[in-house]
Amino acid sequence: MTDFSKGSALEIERKFLLTRMPENLTSYPHRSIEQGYLAVEGGGVQVRLRRAGEVCSLTYKRGMGNAREEREIALTAEQFAALWPGTEGRRLTKTRYEVPCGERMVEVDVYTGRHEGVVVAEVEFPDEASCRDFIPPDWIGEDVSGAERYSNVVMALS
């Protein structure tokens, strides 16, 4: 979730492994996602392209940890197509399922292609207190927030 209320764009999230798949996963809203990186620099700076169904976007992220700066703009399909070749060799694909969990939405990402078999759950929060206080359902396991192995940018580069 991006918070523009104080002139900043802050994404606060946690990432988890699953102990098992949620029941009836395919019954939840889902979409295929193609993601590629135009630029990756030290300090957690990245410029990402994403196509999720018909929705295309360019996202700038900076920082590391559970809370970091994020700014996203919508792109037309033509703009996306013009930029996509610049992500060659830095891409990943996944299917994202949106699973309600109390007042939160759990995004279950099932990776395809060379990352087949990797499944993670991400949960976004409006503030750091709710991030800390989140109690995951029993099908969510280890918190891997900040673990490089499960970072989308690291996976796209490997």
Residues annotated catalytic, as ranges: 37
Q: 125 and 134 in contact (C-beta within 8 Å)?
A: yes
DSSP 8-state code for residue 140 = E
CA angle 140, 64, 58 (to 5 degrees): 90
3 state SS of 10: strand
List the beta bridge partners of residue 36.
49, 91
Alpha-carbon gap, residue 61 to 41, rounded angstroms? 10
CA angle 144, 99, 113 (to 5 degrees): 60
Q: 14 and 143 in contact (C-beta within 8 Å)?
A: yes
